[in-house]
Amino acid sequence: MDWTETGTELVIFAVIIVTISALAVSLRFISRGYYVRKLGLTDWVILLSLIVNVANTIVIICHVSAGLGRHFGELTVEERKAYFKAIFAGIFVGSTSNLLTKMSVLLLFLDVFVLPAMRRITQIVMAIVAAYGVYLILSHVFFCIPVHAFWNQGYRPQKCLPGPIKWFVDSSLNITLDVTIFCLPFPFMNYMRLPWKQKLWLHVVFAVGFFVCIVSVIRIYFLALSVRSTDKSYINVQVAYWSTVEMNMGCIVACIPTYKPLINRFCPRLLASTLRNPTGFEGDYGELEEGQSHPPTISSGPSRRQQQGTESELQVL
């Protein structure tokens, strides 16, 4: 099938933004793996999210080949079946990517925050995100009974969930969780014994996360247009655009907080601190235990002193 101009532009856009996302993850691994010399579970989860984003780009290519960007009335029965199969795959990879990104951010919070109250709240939010993820995946896979009735619209008998209600409920829950996650650190900022430049950096970093929430709201707007439209294969190009932005920007934003070691290396004055620790990186690490050359991460576990929150409330990202 020939691609439409809008479909071709969508594929080009998806390839560009996933490449930027890959660059962001690469910089994260350089920052935490090379300079801090300690990768944690949070880093491997965001890498898995990137892999899913690459899979989403492949799905978009298949989606465009199946008719995305063309008018629905122009599609044959077989083309429509392929089109809905692509939608099924696209929703699955999109949901998986967003869930992995949320988990990576929350794992990063556990990695760097040692204040007991912050860690407990983070663990509770992680449990909620995990429960949301189970619901999201199962409700999508079994959206129709039998499953193949999702793309085989003429199959009878079939039982399907009310699509418009489910899409808006899922999107609303997604935005609520995003806002909760990015608001999570702010109440604890005042307890951090950090130079003002580093506090400002943290405020800016977490505030940038709200951009993902804005993208999610824009996506809901185009989703509403799609639900009301009878020409879904044409209008859904915009939904695909904003879904791709949401997935990849979430991955990029999740990586930004980990760039502090890179900034310290190449722009040391930007986040200059009056404190210095044995690793050579600036920041309020507190007292490292004997034989410890780097701040602990989720993979190594916090020390007892850190668990009590008696030395410092934040490890450098």
Q: To 5 degrees, how large is the angle CA 315–CA 274–CA 203?
A: 50
The span from the CA of 280 to the CA of 282, in Å, is 6
Please report, in tens digits, the pLDDT of each residue of the chain (317 residues total): 578 899 999 999 999 999 999 999 999 999 999 888 888 999 999 999 999 999 999 999 999 999 999 998 888 888 899 999 999 999 999 999 999 999 999 999 888 777 888 899 999 999 999 999 999 999 999 999 889 888 887 777 778 888 888 988 998 999 999 989 988 887 776 666 667 777 777 777 777 778 888 888 898 898 888 888 888 899 999 999 999 999 999 999 999 888 888 888 887 776 665 444 433 333 333 334 444 444 444 333 443 334 444 333 444 45
Segments in 184-312 forming alpha helices (H): 196-208, 210-228, 232-255, 260-266, 304-307
Beta-carbon count within 10 A of 101 CB: 30
Cβ within 8 Å of residue 81, ≥6 positions away: 151, 152, 153
Amino acid identity, residue 190? N
Strand, helix or coil for residue 76: coil
75-84, Cβ contacts within 8 angstroms, sequence gap of 24 or more: 75/233, 77/154, 79/1, 80/153, 81/151, 81/152, 81/153, 82/151, 83/151, 83/233, 84/150, 84/151, 84/153
The structural domains of the chain, with segments of one domain joined by +, span: 5-263
Task: Say if CB 288 and CB 304 are below 8 A apart.
Answer: no
Spatial CB neighbours of 185, under 8 Å, sequence gap ≥ 6: 109, 113, 118, 202, 206
Q: Does domain 5-263 bear CATH number 1.20.1070?
A: yes
Q: Is the torsion defined by CA of 140, 143, 144, 150 positive or negative?
A: negative
Buried b (16+ CB within 10 A) or exposed e, 250-264: bbbbbbbbbbbbbeb
The residue assigned the tokens 């904003």 is 242
